[in-house]
Chains A and B, each alone.
Chain A
Amino acid sequence: MFWKKRRLKKTDPQTPAKSIVDLLKQLKVNPDFTHFHHKGPHFSCWVSFMQTLVDVDYVHRDVFPYLYSNQVHCLSDVQTILPFEEIIRTKELSVIQSKLLEGFIVIQESENKPDCLIIPSIKVQGRQVEQTEIETSILGSHEGFVESIDTNINLIRKRLPIPQFQIKELRVGKISRTRVCVLFVDGIANKENLNTVVQRISDLEVVSLIDATMLALHIGDNNHSLFPQFIDTERPDRVAGALYEGKVAVLVDGSPNALIMPSTIVEFFAAFDDYFLVWPIATAYRLLRLFAVAFSIVSSSLYVAVLTYHYQLVPKDLMGALIVSRSSVPYDPVIEVLLLEIMIELLREAGARLPTKVGQTMGIVGGIVIGTASVQAGVASNILLIIIAMSALAAFITPNYRMATTIRFIRFPFILFAEVLGLLGIALCFMLFVCHLIKLTSLGRPYIEPIYPLRVTDMQDAYIRLPFNFQNRRPQFLRTGDADRTNPQRAREKVGKQSPDIDE
C-alpha cells in the first residue's frame, strides 16, 4: 500500500532548533524562561535558565557573585573560578537544549554564538520518602519509593554498599527522553538477563514513558497475557533483596515503582514479611495465601456448576440450608452470581476512585446495606453472599496489586464456563489457564518455574519457605554468576560439631 509507505516515510514532526538563536527564540515564548544580558565592568555575558527548574536561591548565592567579581575576564575564567565539580563547556546544540530543560544554567559570551558554559543547579522537588502505601508491612522497613529516580537509587544504594552494584542509564521515549535505570549487581546477575533487559528497553519505540508499570507492559514477553510478568514493588528493601539474589531491577524517573525481573508466578504471592517471620509461620501464611487465591478463583464458579448440574455433590445436611436460602430466589444460579460479583466489582472500583473518607462510607453502604438488602429482597441467597464476600476478601490477600486484579478478572470466564459445561467447563477453563502459564515466560525464563521445569532445589523459597540455613544457594532459575549465597566452606567450619549428644 503506497499510502502506508508514505506515512512511514514521513519525517519526525519534531523540528529541532537549527541554531542557538532558534532555540532561544523557541524558548522565549515560555513565561518561566529567564534570559538576560549581564554587563559587568570587565566581563559581560548572557545568562539563561528555566526559572521553574532551577534552584533560584542557589543561583543567586553561589553563581552570580563569582560572575560579577573582578577576576573574571572571559568564559574560561568563569569555569576555573566557579566552585563546582562538573561544569560543561560545549558548542553542541542538543546538549545545550537537553541540559537547559533539565534545570542547568547556560552562560554565553555572546547571544549568537553556541559556545557556552553549562552549570548544574537542579532544584530537587518532590515527595519526601514516606511510608509504603500499597505494600504495607508490619515488620521491617517502612520506607517506600518516591517519584524522583535519584532518591530511589539513593534508597537502594544505602542497602547495597558495594562497588559491584552498577547502574546502566538509558533514555526512553521519542519526545519525553525519560530516564530509565537498570540496576544489577555485577558478578551475580546473569549477563544474558541483563542484556535482554537493556536491549528490550533501548529497542522501545514510544513517545513517552510515564510509569514503570507502563514499561512492564511494553517490555513483557507476552503483552496479551492476563498475568503480569514482572513484579512491581514500592519497597526498596525488596528490590535490594532481589538484587542480592541475582535479579535485575528497573527504575523509571517519575514512578514510585521498581520492576524486578525475571520473576516467577509464586513470587507474586510472597509478601516481603515472610522473611521476617520464623519459617513454619511464614510457610503457613504462604500456603494460606495460595489457598485463598484458589478459593477466590473457583468458589463462585463451583457454586454455579454444583447448583446447576451436580447437586449430588452436596451433602445431605447442607442441602436443607441451601434449599431454604435459594427457595425465594427467582433467578438461575449464574444470574445470581454475576449480579453479586458485579456488585462487588463496582464497590471495589468506586472505593478505589473515591477519596479515602468517602470511600469508607461507600464500603459500609455497599457491603452492609446492599448485601443484606439483596438477600432480604430475595434476589440473592445467603450462602452465595458469604461465598462471594469471602472470595472478594481472598482476592485482596495477594500482595501484588496487578496480580490481584488478574485474579479478580479471571473469575468471570470460570463462571461462564461453569454455566455452560458445569464442572467439566471449570476443568477446561482451568486447563486453558494452566497451559497458558506453562507457555508463559518472564524475560525468556519459565514463568511457573519450580514446577515446570521441575527444580526441587528452588522449591525451598516458593510455596514454602525453608529456614535461612537451608537457603544457602541462589535460585537455579536465575542462572546467577555465583551460585552460592555464602562461602560454603567457611559456613561449614563455623557450624562446629555436627550433633552433640545430650548434656554435652
Chain B
Amino acid sequence: MMAKANPINDTHKAGPMAVFFLTQTMQIAIEFVFIQQLVTKDSQQDAWIAVLLGGLSTFPVMWLILRLLEKERRYGQADLFSIQRRIFGKLIGSMLNLIVSIYVFLYSVTYLRSLIELLQVEIFPQLSTLVFSVLFCLIVWYIVMGGFRNIVGVSLINFIYLLPLFLSNVFVVPHAHFSNLLPIMEHRPQQIFLSFFMNTHVYVGFEFILFYYPFIKKPEEAKKWAYFSLLTTLYIYLIFIILGIVYYSQGEVQKTIWPTLTFWKSIKFPFFEHVDIIFSIILLWSLIPLVSLCSWVLTRGIKFTFPKIKKKYSLIAILILTIVTAYLIRDGQQVMMLTRLFNIIGFIAIYCYIPLLFLCQWLKNLFTGETA
C-alpha cells in the first residue's frame, strides 16, 4: 500500500534557501500587473485591507503545510502524491492525484496564456500564440531536463531580474494622491471578504512546496525561508495595491485592465522611452521558472502513478499539451474566464483542501494507532 520510498540523491537536492526563491516565483508571476483592478472592484479604497488579510492568511496555511510534511516524513517520501496515496488508498489517492495534476496544469497554462495575452496587446498584436509558446516551451524543456536544481537557479535569477520592476514604484511618489486612501474602513466586511476572495489568485502558489519538499536539504532551516518569502510577497503586493489606489482615481483603476503597466508608461528616461515595453519583456522571465516547475511536478506525478514512463518522455507530452491548450484559448475574454475559474479552484485548494488533508492525516494516524 505504501509507495516505495525512492531516496533522492543529495546531488539533486537544493539548499534551504531554494524555498524562498521558488515560493517567490510561484506567487509573484505577473499578478502584480493587474492585482489593483481585481481587488478594488468590491472594496474600492479599502482594497489594501483585503490584500493585507489575504497575505496574512497565507501564514497559517503555510504552517499547516509544513506541519503536514514534517509529520509525513517518517512514512516515506513527503510529497503530496505520496501523502494522498497513503491516506486515501490507491484508488481514491490516484484520483486525487489526477485532480491535483489538473490543477497544476491549469496553473501553468493560465499564467502562460495571460502573459501571451499581455504581450499581444502591449507589444506585438500579431504575435502568434503557437509560435511563441513553442519557443517558450523549448526553453522550458531545456531547463526541466537539467532537473530540480536548474529550476531553482532560474527562479533565483528571476528574482534578481524582477527587482527593478518592484523598485519602479519609486516613480509614483511625485504623482501620488495619498488622500485617495481615505476614508479608511468605509466598506462592510462582506465587501472586504469579496475582495479577499478575488485576491487568492495572486497569493496562490506557495503550496507548491508540497511537491518539491523532498528535494530540499535541511528542511528544518527551510521553514524560516518559507515564511520570509510569504512576508516579501505580502509586502510587494501591498505596495502595488497602494500604488494603484494613490495613483489612479477609483473610476480609472477599475476600468484599466493592467494598471501597473499603464503606470509604467508614465516613467520617462532621457535615454529611452516606453519603459513599459522593456518591463513587460522582463516579465517573461517570471514565467520560465513557473512553467518549468509545473511541468516538473507533472512529470513527477506521472512517474509516481506509472513508474514505467520515463520523465524525459512524459515531459515532451506535457509540453505539447501545454502548447495546444494555450493555443485553444482564443482571446482576452477567455483568458479572463480562465483566470476567474482558476481563482475559485485556488481558493478551494488553499483554504479548504489543505486543512482537510491535514485533518485526514491526523485521523489516519489516530486510527492506525501511531501518535503524531
Report if B184 contacts A (CB, 8 A): no
Contact A452 B274 (CB under 8 A): no
B119 cross-chain contacts in A, Cβ below 8 A: 424
A427–B280 Cα gap in the complex (Å)? 11
Contact B146 A439 (CB under 8 A): yes
Assuming the contacts A314-B273, A315-B270, asked whether A424 and B146 have C-beta atoms less than 8 A apart, the reply is no
Question: Which of B132, B135, B154, B278 contacts A435 (CB under 8 A)?
Answer: B154
Assuming the contacts A313-B277, A454-B17, asked whether A424 and B123 have C-beta atoms less than 8 A apart, the reply is yes
Contact B281 A432 (CB under 8 A): no
Identify the closest chain B residue to A453 (Cβ): B15
A438–B281 Cα gap in the complex (Å)? 20
Contact B285 A431 (CB under 8 A): yes
A435–B289 Cα gap in the complex (Å)? 10
List CB contacts (< 8 Å) of B8-33 with chain A. 14-15, 17
Interface-lining segment among B80-88, B136-144, B195-203: B136-144
Contact B273 A428 (CB under 8 A): no
Contact B156 A315 (CB under 8 A): no
Contact A315 B157 (CB under 8 A): no
A198–B128 Cα gap in the complex (Å)? 51
List CB contacts (< 8 Å) of B290-326 with chain A. none
A384–B200 Cα gap in the complex (Å)? 49
Question: Which of A314, A422, A431, A439 contacts B272 (CB under 8 A)?
Answer: A314
List CB contacts (< 8 Å) of B229-275 with chain A. 270-274
Which one of B132, B157, B274 has the greatest number of beta carbons of chain A within 10 Å? B157
A271–B16 Cα gap in the complex (Å)? 34
Contact A423 B153 (CB under 8 A): no
A453 cross-chain contacts in B, Cβ below 8 A: 14-15, 153
Contact B273 A438 (CB under 8 A): no
Contact A313 B153 (CB under 8 A): no
Contact A439 B150 (CB under 8 A): yes
Question: Which of B17, B135, B274 contacts A428 (CB under 8 A)?
Answer: B135
Report if B47 contacts A (CB, 8 A): no
CB distance from B66 to the nearest CB of A (A): 22
CB distance from A190 to the nearest CB of B (A): 16
A310–B273 Cα gap in the complex (Å)? 10
A435 cross-chain contacts in B, Cβ below 8 A: 139, 142-143, 146, 150, 154, 288
Report if B95 contacts A (CB, 8 A): no
Contact A423 B277 (CB under 8 A): yes
Report if A451 contacts B (CB, 8 A): yes
Report if B127 contacts A (CB, 8 A): yes
A454–B153 Cα gap in the complex (Å)? 9
Contact B274 A312 (CB under 8 A): yes
Report if B171 contacts A (CB, 8 A): no
Report if B75 contacts A (CB, 8 A): no
Report if A434 contacts B (CB, 8 A): yes
Dominant secondary structure at the A interface: helix
Q: For the side of the interface on B, what is the size category?
A: 20 to 34
- Tell me the total A-B contact number using a CB cutoff of 8 A: 81
Contact A310 B277 (CB under 8 A): yes
Which one of B139, B153, B282 has the greatest number of beta carbons of chain A within 10 Å? B153
A315–B278 Cα gap in the complex (Å)? 14
Question: Which of B15, B123, B136, B150 contacts A438 (CB under 8 A)?
Answer: B150
Identify the closest chain A residue to B143 (Cβ): A435
B156 cross-chain contacts in A, Cβ below 8 A: 451-452, 454
Contact B124 A424 (CB under 8 A): yes
CB distance from A306 to the nearest CB of B (A): 9
CB distance from B275 to the nearest CB of A (A): 9
A309 cross-chain contacts in B, Cβ below 8 A: 124
List CB contacts (< 8 Å) of A432-458 with chain B. 432, 434-436, 438-439, 451-454
Assuming the contacts A313-B277, A438-B153, A439-B150, asked whether A423 and B123 have C-beta atoms less than 8 A apart, the reply is yes
Report if B49 contacts A (CB, 8 A): no
Contact A424 B281 (CB under 8 A): yes
Report if B284 contacts A (CB, 8 A): yes
A315–B270 Cα gap in the complex (Å)? 7
Contact A423 B139 (CB under 8 A): no
A213–B56 Cα gap in the complex (Å)? 57
A432 cross-chain contacts in B, Cβ below 8 A: 139, 142
Question: Which of A312, A314, A315, A428 contacts B136 (CB under 8 A)?
Answer: A428
Assuming the contacts A313-B272, A315-B272, A438-B150, asked whether A422 and B123 have C-beta atoms less than 8 A apart, the reply is yes
Contact B153 A452 (CB under 8 A): yes
CB distance from B123 to the nearest CB of A (A): 7
Identify the closest chain B residue to A427 (Cβ): B281
A436–B142 Cα gap in the complex (Å)? 8
CB distance from A352 to the nearest CB of B (A): 33
Question: Which of A315, A424, A427, A438 contacts B154 (CB under 8 A)?
Answer: A438
B17 cross-chain contacts in A, Cβ below 8 A: 454
Contact B124 A422 (CB under 8 A): yes
List CB contacts (< 8 Å) of A279-331 with chain B. 309-310, 312-315
Which residues of B line the A interface, CB within 8 A? 14-15, 17, 119, 123-124, 127, 132, 135-136, 139, 142-143, 146, 150, 152-154, 156-157, 160, 270-274, 277-278, 281-282, 284-285, 288
The 10 A-B residue pairs whose C-beta atoms are closest, nearest first, are: A438-B153, A452-B153, A439-B146, A427-B281, A452-B156, A313-B274, A313-B272, A312-B274, A435-B143, A423-B281
Query: A313-B278, A315-B273, A434-B157 are known contacts; what are 9 more A-B pairs with Cβ within 8 Å?
Result: A310-B274, A312-B274, A421-B127, A423-B123, A428-B135, A428-B139, A431-B285, A451-B157, A452-B156
